[in-house]
Amino acid sequence: MTQNDMGIGILGTGKYLPEKIMTNHDLEKMVDTSDEWIRTRTGISERRILDKEKATSFMATQAGKKAIEDAGLKPKDIDLIIVSTVTPDMAFPSTACLVQDNLECENAAAYDLEAACSGFLYGLSMAYSQIYAGLCKHVLLIGAETLSRITDWNDRNTCVLFGDGAGAAVIGEVPKGKGILAIDLGADGKGGKHLTQPAGGSLIPATIESVNNRMHYIRMEGNEVFKFAVRTMAESSLKVLDKAGIDIKDIDFLVPHQANIRIIDASRKKLKLPEDKVIINLNKYGNMSSASIPVALEEALNEGRIKENDNLILVGFGGGLTWGSCLIKWHK
């Protein structure tokens, strides 16, 4: 996809991170692990955990509200709300509909999107298409996850990795030649078995047995996902560069999915990018699935790192298995 007669880009961003911090030292008291192992093998030092009485829609609402304000818009200006999440408040109504009610976005349609950690990129593609087709003017896209609720706190292989949070963006028209210049999405359903939450759907509904067997928690073959991630992050980034006709030397920042510092480093090396061109915040938050990329983007913007006309690649991978990337010439 290339941009033709109009520019479509991000008009505003927002985030919400729960206040409660769980450090690696806290995890040392829960499973057989160490701060040293977690930091050296993943790059994570701490993650945020949402209070028990709250759920994904709460964080999504907070992040979405900030993004609408940051875009200089009112809730009634939003035509569509997409919430990317694998941890909706409930199966239905969708979390997007709960957010639509909370934010009083009376003119917005709303739906949830599930592409795991690639969800924000899939959502950008959906938002772009809706606006390009003239069906919407302003789309509120939110990546929000309460992964602590589906994390097996007895499994050291996975529980050290994940955290809770939400990131949001409002997508709309920007000047021609700016905004989203190219998108690449992909999926490999054969590899889906490497990262699952087996129960809770129509195949294995909740039963005493499924709960006792801890089947409602994340299960992952970390090594398989690791290899897939390094390959697809680099390949997908090269695809959007090619589609947009931009050289890697002209990329100012890579905003990768924040899963593991070693995955990010290996992808960066494949792309021959210097370290200072990569946005990293996973040390503070761990892997927040579809919230990782929008939160990293929001923080880089707020720190003043990203400037007008900077070329960014947003890139991620995740359950499904899925991947995606998006090349943006920044304008706000």
Q: How far is the CB of 230 from ligand UT7 (least distance, A)?
A: 9
Q: Taking the complex as a whole, how short is the minimal distance between the CB of residue 2 and ligand UT7, in angstroms?
A: 29
Question: Of the two residues 199 and 259, which places its CB atom closer to ligand UT7 in the complex?
Answer: 259
Shortest separation between residue 138's beta carbon and ligand UT7, angstroms: 29
Q: Smaller CB distance to ligand UT7: residue 55 or 225?
A: 225
Return d(Cα 204, Cα 46) in angstroms, integer: 33
Task: Give the nearer residue to ligand UT7 in terms of CB position, either 130 or 158.
Answer: 158
Token pair belonging to 153 = 């706190």
Cβ closest to ligand UT7, residue 57 vs residue 287:
287
- Round to whole Å and give the CA distance between 82 and 202: 23
For residue 231, the minimal CB distance to ligand UT7 (Å) is: 12
Cis ω for the linkage preceding 27 (within 30 of 0): no
Query: Which one-letter amino acid corresponds to residue 174?
Result: V
Give the H/E segment covering residue 260.
Answer: none
Which residues are designated catalytic? 117, 257, 287
Which residue's CB is nearer to ligand UT7, number 132 or number 226?
226
Q: Which residue, 148, 144, 51, is CA-closest to 102? A: 144
Which residues contact ligand UT7 by CB under 6 A? 33, 37-38, 41-42, 117, 156-157, 160, 195, 220, 222-223, 225-226, 229, 259-260, 287, 318
Report, in Å, the least distance between residue 81 CB and ligand UT7.
Answer: 24
Rg, Å, the chain Cα set = 19
Kindly tell me which of 163 and 172 has the beta carbon lying closer to ligand UT7. Answer: 163
CA distance 131 to 241: 22
Read off φ and ψ for residue 328, nearest 5 degrees: -125, 130
The Cα 259–Cα 292 span in angstroms is 8
The per-residue DSSP string of 275-296 comes to GGGB---HHHH-B-GGGHHHHH
Prior bond to 274 cis, omega within 30? no
Strands (E), the chain: 7-16, 21-23, 46-48, 80-84, 109-113, 139-146, 164-174, 179-187, 195-196, 219-220, 253-256, 311-318, 322-329
Q: Which one, of 142, 135, 67, 138, lies nearest residue 111 by Cα?
A: 142
- Nearest residue (beta carbon) to ligand UT7: 222
- The least distance separating ligand UT7 from the CB of residue 115, rounded to whole angstroms, comes to 11
